[in-house]
Amino acid sequence: MLLARLTQANGAPGQEDEVRDLIRAAIEPHVQIVKTDALGNLLAIKNPDAPGPKVMLAAHMDEVALMVVGIDGDGYLKFRPIGGVDPRVLVAKTVVVGRKKVPGVIGSKPIHLQRPEEREKAFTIREMVIDIGAKNREEAEKLVQLGEIAYFTTEYEELGENRVKAKALDDRVGCALLIRLLQEEVSFPLIAAFTVQEEVGLRGAGVAAYQVEPDLALVLEGTTASDVPGTDDHKQATALGEGPAISVMDRSVIPNPELVQELLALAAEKGIKVQVRRSTAGGTDAGQIQLSRAGVKVAVISVPCRYIHSPAAVMCKDDFEGAYQLVKHYLARLEERAGLS
Q: Is 109 domain-assigned? A: yes
Question: For position 265, what pLDDT does the model report?
Answer: 97
Residues 263 and 199 in one domain: yes
Q: Is 160 domain-assigned? A: no
Residues 84 and 53 in one domain: no
At residue 107, the 3 state secondary structure works out as strand
Domain finish residue from 106, 121, 152 = 152
- State how far the Cα of 93 lies from the Cα of 43, in Å rounded to an integer: 34
Report how far apart the first and last C-alpha atoms of the chain are (Å, whole number): 31
Least confident of 104-108, 194-198, 337-341: 337-341
Other Cβ atoms closer than 10 A to 255 = 25
- CATH number for the domain including 133? 2.40.30.40
Let me know if 198 is a catalytic residue.
yes
Residues 257 and 331 in one domain: yes
Query: 54 vs 29, 48, 96, 262, CA distance in Å?
Result: 21, 9, 41, 18
More confident residue, 336 or 219: 219
Q: List pLDDT tens digits, range 134-153.
A: 999 999 999 999 999 999 99
Question: For position 114, what pLDDT does the model report?
Answer: 64
**pLDDT at position 82 over 70:** yes
Residues 86 and 98 in one domain: yes
Q: Is 161 domain-assigned? A: no
Q: Is 158 domain-assigned? A: no
Residues 217 and 297 in one domain: yes
**pLDDT at position 302 over 90:** yes
Average pLDDT over residues 324-333: 97
Residue 247's φ and ψ, nearest 5 degrees, are -85, 140
Q: Is 193 domain-assigned? A: yes
Residue 38 CB burial class (10 angstroms; 0-12, 13-18, ≥19): exposed
Q: How confident is the model at residue 155 (pLDDT cuts 50, 70, 90)?
A: very high
Domain finish residue from 125, 152, 179 = 152
Q: List pLDDT tens digits, range 20-76.
A: 999 999 999 999 999 999 999 999 999 999 988 999 999 999 999 999 999 999 999
Question: For position 117, what pLDDT does the model report?
Answer: 66
Mean pLDDT score across all residues of the chain: 93
Q: Is 194 domain-assigned? A: yes
Closest CA to 131 of 156, 155, 103, 112: 103
Query: 117 vs 111, 113, 114, 120, 123, CA distance in Å?
Result: 11, 12, 8, 5, 12
- State how far the Cα of 262 lies from the Cα of 146, in Å rounded to an integer: 49
Residues 52 and 183 in one domain: yes
Pairing of strands 129-131, 216-224: unpaired
pTM: 0.93
More confident residue, 113 or 312: 312
Query: What's the structural domain count of the chain?
Result: 2
Q: List pLDDT tens digits, range 100-133.
A: 999 999 998 666 656 676 666 777 889 999 999 9
At residue 78, the 3 state secondary structure works out as strand
Of 16, 63, 148, 198, the catalytic one is 198
- State how far the Cα of 305 lies from the Cα of 295, in Å rounded to an integer: 30
Question: For position 226, what pLDDT does the model report?
Answer: 77
Residues 329 and 206 in one domain: yes
Domain finish residue from 120, 152, 184 = 152
Question: For position 284, what pLDDT does the model report?
Answer: 94
Residues 205 and 268 in one domain: yes
Average pLDDT over residues 78-97: 95
* Parent domain of 75: 65-152
Residues 279, 305, 178, 242, Cα dihedral to 10° = -70
Q: Is 302 domain-assigned? A: yes
Residues 148 and 180 in one domain: no
Residues 234 and 176 in one domain: yes
Report the interhelical angle of 317-338 vs 257-270 (nearest 10°). Answer: 110
Residues 172 and 117 in one domain: no
CB neighbour burial string for 49-81, b if at least 16 within 10 angstroms, e if fewer: eeebbbbbbbbbbbbbbbbbeebeeebbbbbeb
- CATH number for the domain including 222? 3.40.630.10
Average pLDDT over residues 149-176: 96
Q: List pLDDT tens digits, range 217-270.
A: 999 999 999 777 666 565 668 999 999 999 999 888 999 999 999 999 999 999
CB neighbour burial string for 264-301, b if at least 16 within 10 angstroms, e if fewer: bebbeeeebebbebbbeebbbbbbbbbbbeeebbbbbb
Residues 52 and 69 in one domain: no
All residues at 6 or more sequence positions from 194 whose CB lies less than 8 Å from its CB, including other chains? 19, 20, 23, 41, 42, 43, 44, 58, 59, 60, 61, 175, 178
Q: Is 162 domain-assigned? A: no
Q: Residue length, the chain?
A: 341
Q: List pLDDT tens digits, range 236-245.
A: 689 999 999 9
